[in-house]
Structures are given as C-alpha cells and as structure tokens.
Amino acid sequence: MAKVTYEKEITALLVIDPYNDFISEGGKLWDRLKGVAEANNCVPHMLQVLNVARVAGLRVFYALHRQYRPGDYEAWKYIAPVQKAAWAHRTFEYGTWGGQIRAEFEPKPGEIVATEHWCSSGFANTDLDLQLKKHGIHKLIVIGLIAHTCVEATVRFAAELGYDVTMVKDATADYSDEEMHAALDVNIPNYASAIVTTKEVVDSISSL
C-alpha cells in the first residue's frame, strides 16, 4: 500500500468506545472479544496510535456509546436488536467500572468527547459532526470497537457526511473472524479511502 499522508490541520484521530466493558480483563464483553483482540494486538495497537497522534499534535476525538442508565429504552416504542442487547446486558453501565474508559485511553485536556450515541454510529444524534467542523477537521483516522457495529457504522456515517476516512485494521476487534471480515474486507473498503496497519499509520503520523 502506498504511504498515506495527512495534513495536520484537517486530520483527527477518532477513538470509538474504548470502554472497560469492551477491552479490559473483567469487562462484560471482553471474553467475547478477547480471541480476535489478542490475536491482532488490538489494545496495544490502539494505544500506539493514540500516543503517536498526541505526540504529533493531531486533535483527538472520542465517540462513546450511551452508558446504560435506569429507565433507558423502557418507554421506547421502537427498539433495534443491538439496543435490546445493550439494555439486557446493561452494557457500559453509568457509574460502574465497565462504563468507564479504560485508564490508558482517558481523554486529555483539549481532546473532544462527543455526546453519547444510542445505537452504533458515533455521528447519529450526537455533536460529533459539529465538533469536527468547529475544529476544521475533514480527515479521520479511526480506531476502536467493535468492528462490525460501532466502527463500521461510524465509518459509514463519516463517509456519508463527507469525511475522508482511514481505518486502522489491527486497532479494532470483534467477536469473531467472520464479523471482522464482514466489516474490514467486505464493507468498510467502500467507505474508507485507506485501510492500513498500525505500523503504516504510525509511520505516516510520525512524519507529520
């Protein structure tokens, strides 16, 4: 793959759902993600990309799923299966460790945490698009969880809304290789202009 280049002023890192429930030992979904995540070194890769982005001065944004709170969904007349599951498992429960961002990924001052999303896309019903525009961002480097739901949804919405997307394929994970494949090989190639490894993107960012 040809080297991907970025202009610092218009490029941001977007970190999706780095919650303990997803990526920390003891998290509600870690056991289901662990196989794929450990095989591709997902968490160390995410950290590597985050750290190099910070050093290079790229703006960092966080897209975070709704932390479950009592009452959520109860009066909804229409509810998608992915939301029913979040409700049943109280995933990312507000006020619990599982609903907190894994410590190493804690946002630093000046990093932007978008309002929480209710389904999968970090853009839907949130201020992410606004915040990106307010900071002059047009290109997104995407890392995080999980590949075929929140990550793919956010990449799709980013493209639909006019952003250029780079997907870091070994800084994400999923419940199975089949779901990783559906996201990374079948669908995201239609919407992300580049799909790269952590090593490739770290090289690109380091040279900024």
Which residues, numbered 6-45, are part of the site for its own copies (CB under 8 A)? none
Which residues, numbered 110-139, are part of the site for its own copies (CB under 8 A)? 110, 115-116, 118-121, 124-127, 129-130, 133-136, 138-139
**Does residue 5 interact with its own copies by CB under 8 A?**
no
Span of 24-32, 37-45, 179-187, 196-204 interacting with its own copies by CB under 8 A: 179-187
Whole-number minimum distance, CB 171 to its own copies, in Å? 20
**Does residue 157 interact with its own copies by CB under 8 A?**
yes
Least Cα distance to 153 among 17, 10, 27 occurs for: 17
Report H helices in the chain: 20-23, 30-39, 42-56, 81-89, 128-134, 152-161, 177-181, 198-206
Read off φ and ψ for residue 151, nearest 5 degrees: -70, -55
- Cβ atoms of 21 and 98 within 8 Å: the answer is yes
Choose which of 1, 2, 25, 81 interacts with its own copies (CB under 8 A): 81
* Nearer to its own copies among residue 119 and residue 208 (C-beta): 119
**Does residue 57 interact with its own copies by CB under 8 A?**
no
Cβ contacts of residue 193 below 8 Å, gap of 6+?
164, 165, 166
* Nearer to its own copies among residue 103 and residue 108 (C-beta): 108
